[in-house]
Structure 1
Amino acid sequence: MTISWDNVWTYYNSSDNKIDLMLVNYLNLDNNYKQLKKNKYSSEFHDNEIIKKFTISLIECNGLTIESYKYLLKSVPNTLNRWNNLGLENLDEDKVMYLINNHFLTLSESNYDFLREIFPNLKITLIEDNQQFLIQAINDEELSLTTDEVDSILNSINIKTSIKSNLLANFARERIINETEIAKIAGIVFSEIGYKKLKYSEINSISKSANSNTIRMKILENHFDQLIDPEIQTLVSDLSGDYKRMFIKNKRPRFNNTKENLNLIERLYQKNLIKKFSFEKEGKYIRTLANTS
């Protein structure tokens, strides 16, 4: 028999639209699946409904070797990707992983619940592959996540910062205030994208949880104009180093002349939160003088 998709679909159609053992054995032959991959996945002799049904049967077939499975599914066009409500319960994990990594599964409640129950290690992988749809799926109540699942998303190196920011801003605001680890992640995420809509309580929690002055300063800079003077003084005082002395009467702390320090000191001076500042050692350092009252 000539190796062609048309012949495969003809046999499939005559077998009550099932991939039986004979067809499985045929598709598992090295020469056959490699030759089929080279052929166009379309037909002049079979309607789209037959091809669609075969594609679903192919995806659900665990009798294929993983090599055959990958080769054959590489032939499937993008128009037949992104499936929902398939019968995947009999598939081995490596086949389900292949489906996710190659965009065959949508971010739907049924797909996610299936992975949550059968292959829990792959549920976040599904979100990573469909992350552009995550926020909309949550908003539309098509997907509900546990706290642990949200944490896994926030800790994933494969989720874009913009997605994490949206998730934090819309679904984890209270946790930023109450949970150190979430506040720490929020600091990293919001400082990176320049988020400017935090409340003082959230900024304060992030400042106390952050691992670096860089993050604290970026968060402060992005919200400087909306904060009142005592809030600014508290946040600056929380910075690691000599920053608290900037507000102690007659103290003259010295700082390295970095872009971050200069920007902060200039803004404090503009708000009359320090009396003055000057440069030392040919501009290498900045010396500040606290107000006298």
Structure 2
Amino acid sequence: MNVMYEKDMSFEYKLQKPQFVLDKIEDFQFTRKYILNYKLVDYLIENIEDNYEYEIYYGLLIDQLANESESSFSFIDGYIYCHEINHNTKEIFIKSLCKKWQHMWTYIQLKSNLVTEKMDMFLRDIIKYADIDDIVNMNVNQILTRYISSLPYFLRLVTDEEYNEKIIMILDRLKVVFIEMDKVNHENEILNHIYINDMYEINEDMIYVIMNHYSSDSIYNVRRANYTAIKNSKCEELIKYIDKNINEYIEKVFLKLNANDSEAEKIIIELLNNEDIEVENKNKIISETKFIINNINKVNIHLLWARLIENCKIKISWSNIISYFEHFNKQIDEIVINFLNEENNYLILSKQSLSEISEFDNSVVDSISQKIILCKEITIDAFKELIKSIKEKYTEFEELKDSSEDKINILINQGILILSPENYIMLKNNFKNEHIKLLVNNINEYVEKYEKYELDAEDIKKLLKSEIYMNYKVFIIEHIEDVEIISDNYLVDMIMECIMEIDKIKLKDVILENIIKSDIHLKTKVMLLNKNIDSLDKNITFKLLNVIGGKYSDITNYSSKPLLNNNHENKVLAKNLKNKNYISSWSEEKFGIRINTYQKEK
């Protein structure tokens, strides 16, 4: 056989003569994997009492099976649940294994990858067959206690009543406190022990199970009026247990009942105003119970106002917020800020106009409006909505210099920060682009009073990049007067891009001259002259032709016949010069456009 030759064999291999095998092998071989055979173990267990040597062999075999190897556990699993063994053999094997292997349950739960159903089969057999001391010893780091405590169907795990006393002793030794338990529909000795000895956690589900079993008539209201149902249940052990641990009950059950939402506002206010209830529990009632108080002034203890607002337990209204604001030094503190930053809150408040609130002085409303605008901690999403409640318009608001660009942008878009020299200067001095945003959003007002708003090259570039209509861009370009601005080549390019989209423009003469002097393409220079020529007199026109230079300068000389390249811009120039009677005539020739100047001044 393979054992004799030290070769692994199937666990199920049917040994015909296990005694013969045992007679031929040595002690040390019982520490090897190849010794693992179901029939061999059967034979050892069945004959262990009559053979001291077999007892040694069996001990070595159990040592090997407790080594936490995958093959060893596979053998254990197969031997107990796949191999056909009698009750006595199974009991001896499991008892031996539990006695030897302290970390057996730790391995089963954390390392074996068994499905829950199979783990529960192991637990059932451990409870039935292992010694109680060994089970307690197996409870490393409370792992078994925690597993059983969270096993809702534990009372169905071992249904044989003969084990009830042992199970009760195990529960006591492991100090099990059940977290959840399935409904029990019949008298149960173990449940009675659990109930009488408070071996269950105070939580909604366990209370429901206890009440359902011992006072089913009172169960109907337990979800929506929990403590009242308990008091009316006549479950004296339950009532005493909860009364002894009332704060635990309040924190773990009463305050966490999601369905406990039918308490009247008046009752909640009475609880909060009740001086006999600890402040901590009042805070927990506020934090964890579902209710809404319409008027915060009904709560007499002002120190609870912050907690009410913090937990959104007040009606979402500016009246409640202003009441708090007025009472606490007219400051927007962290409590109010957090409340305002909640999406549901700011969306509702955004639909309520501050100007329509009548129960407060206007000065109080104005004060909270300005503090909301200046509050840095209000998120941008909240700010965007809350601003809709403010109808005030500000022509001067110097304090905004420390605000964020996003918030300034919103104030401009909402028309709260309007165009004025003061606002323009404040924005220009403190922000990168917001003064431009102010101009863009109020472009008509700017055009009417443009002389009050100084633009530099960067400002003009940003305006030309903006989405204002072309006519406004042309207006801005036509009113550039500072020659230094035109020294910016990028701005010149932008100006030219705009000009190319229109037919005519009227630049300041000095600006036009300096652009033509700049490093732009010759055709572009001619095009620029063409688009401005309607507003230019002869002297300026000729001056600009001289600035362009080359053959264009010859146009300014009498009795000259310069030949220009034949292209669109030169043709338009020739037409314009003729229309204004600045030249005698022009014609297209084979090699270009001929310009005929006057013989003398005309």
Check whether TM > 0.5: yes
Q: Select the residue among 566, 571, 590 that pairs with 1:255.
A: 566
Mapped to 1, the partners of 2:577 and 2:402 lie a distance apart of: 64
By how many angstroms is 1:180 displaced?
Answer: 6.5
The one-letter code matched in structure 1 to 2:460 is: L
Residue 340 of structure 2: aligned partner:
27
Query: Which residue does 1:184 correspond to in 2?
Result: 492
* Paired position in structure 1 for 2:277: none
Pair 131,291 (structure 1): closer, same or farther in 2 beyond 3 Å: closer
Map residues 76-225 of structure 1 onto 2, 5 A cutoff: 76-77=390-391, 80-88=392-400, 91-108=403-420, 111-112=423-424, 114-115=426-427, 118-120=430-432, 122-134=434-446, 139=451, 150-156=456-462, 157-158=465-466, 160-162=472-474, 164-165=476-477, 167-169=479-481, 172=482, 174-175=483-484, 179=487, 181=489, 184=492, 188=496, 192=502, 194-196=504-506, 198-199=508-509, 201-209=510-518, 210-211=520-521, 212=524, 213-223=526-536
Q: CA RMSD in A?
A: 4.2
Correspondence for 2:386: 72
| In structure 2, distance between residues paired with 1:272 and 1:92 | 57
Pair 1:12-2:342 in alignment:
no
More moved, 240-249 vs 11-20: 240-249
SS at match of 2:541: helix
Percent identity at matched positions? 21
Q: How far apart are residue 12 of structure 1 and its match? A: 2.7
Change over 3 Å in CA distance of 1:153–1:267 after alignment to 2 = same
Residue in 2 that maps onto 1:264: 573
Partners of 2:598 and 2:476 lie apart in 1 by 44
CA contact (8 A) 2:503 2:531 kept: no
How far apart, CA to CA, are the structure 2 residues paired with 1:49 and 1:240?
A: 69
- Quote how far apart the aligned CAs of 1:58 are: 0.9
SS in 1 for 2:400: coil
Verify the 8 A CA contact 1:24 1:64 in the aligned structure 2: yes
- How far apart, in 2, do the equivalents of 1:236 and 1:288 lie? 16
Contact 2:457–2:491 (CA under 8 A) maintained in structure 1:
no
Unaligned runs of 5+ in 1: none
Kindly indicate whether the alpha-carbon contact (under 8 Å) linking 1:37 and 1:75 is maintained by their aligned counterparts in 2.
yes
Partner of 2:252: none
Does the 8 Å contact 2:427/2:435 carry over to 1? yes
Cα offset, 1:126, TM superposition: 4.2
Please state whether the residue corresponding to 1:74 is helix, strand or coil. helix
Paired with 1:253 and 1:276, the residues of 2 have a C-alpha distance of 10
Cα pair 2:461 2:491 within 8 Å, conserved: no
Residues 249 and 92 (structure 1), Cα distance of their counterparts in 2 relative to 1, 3 Å cut: closer
Please give the per-residue CA displacement for 1:185-232, whole angstroms capped at 9, x wherever unaligned. 796477858454744x55433322355132232122431xx223xx53
Match of 1:62 among 373, 376, 379: 376
Structure 1 residues 46, 101: CA separation in 2 closer, same or farther (over 3 Å shift)?
same
SS in 2 for 1:255: coil
Q: Deviation at 1:132?
A: 4.5
Task: After TM superposition, give the deviation of residue 70 of structure 1 in Å.
Answer: 1.7
Letter in 2 for 1:150: D
Partner Cα separation in structure 2 for residue 155 and residue 190 of structure 1: 14
TM-score w.r.t. the length of structure 2 is: 0.37
Structure number with greater Rg is: 2
Kindly state the Cα deviation for residue 30 of structure 1 after the two structures are TM-superposed. Answer: 2.4
Unaligned runs of 5+ residues in structure 2 are 1-313
Q: Residue in 2 aligned with 1:227? A: 538
Q: Residue by residue, what CA displacement relative to the aligned partner does 1:267-293 show, whole Å, maximum 9, x if unpaired?
A: 43352624442588xxxx984353585
C-alpha contact 1:187 1:219 (8 A) present in aligned 2: no
The CA deviation at 1:18 is: 2.6
Deviates more, 1:68-77 or 1:110-119: 110-119
Per the TM alignment, residue 72 of structure 1 is displaced from its structure 2 partner at its CA by: 0.9
Cα distance, 1:240–1:55 mapped onto 2, change above 3 Å: farther
Query: What displacement does 1:59 show?
Result: 0.3
Amino acid aligned to 1:269 = K
2:427 touches 2:434 (CA, 8 Å); kept in 1? Answer: yes
8 Å contact from structure 1 (residues 161, 193) kept in 2: no
Higher relative contact order (CA 8 A, sep 6+): 1
Per the alignment, do residues 249 and 7 of structure 1 end up closer, same or farther by CA in structure 2, a change over 3 Å counting?
Answer: same
- Alpha-carbon distance change, 239 to 33 in structure 1, aligned in 2, over 3 angstroms: same
8 Å CA contact 1:278, 1:288 repeated in 2: yes
C-alpha separation between the residues in 2 aligned to 1:272 and 1:97?
Answer: 52
Mapped to 2, the partners of 1:227 and 1:102 lie a distance apart of 50
Matches of 1:218 and 1:276 in 2, distance apart? 19
Determine if contact 2:350/2:386 at 8 Å carries over to the other structure: yes
CA distance in 2 between counterparts of 1:288 and 1:73 reads 67
SS of 1:87's equivalent? Answer: helix
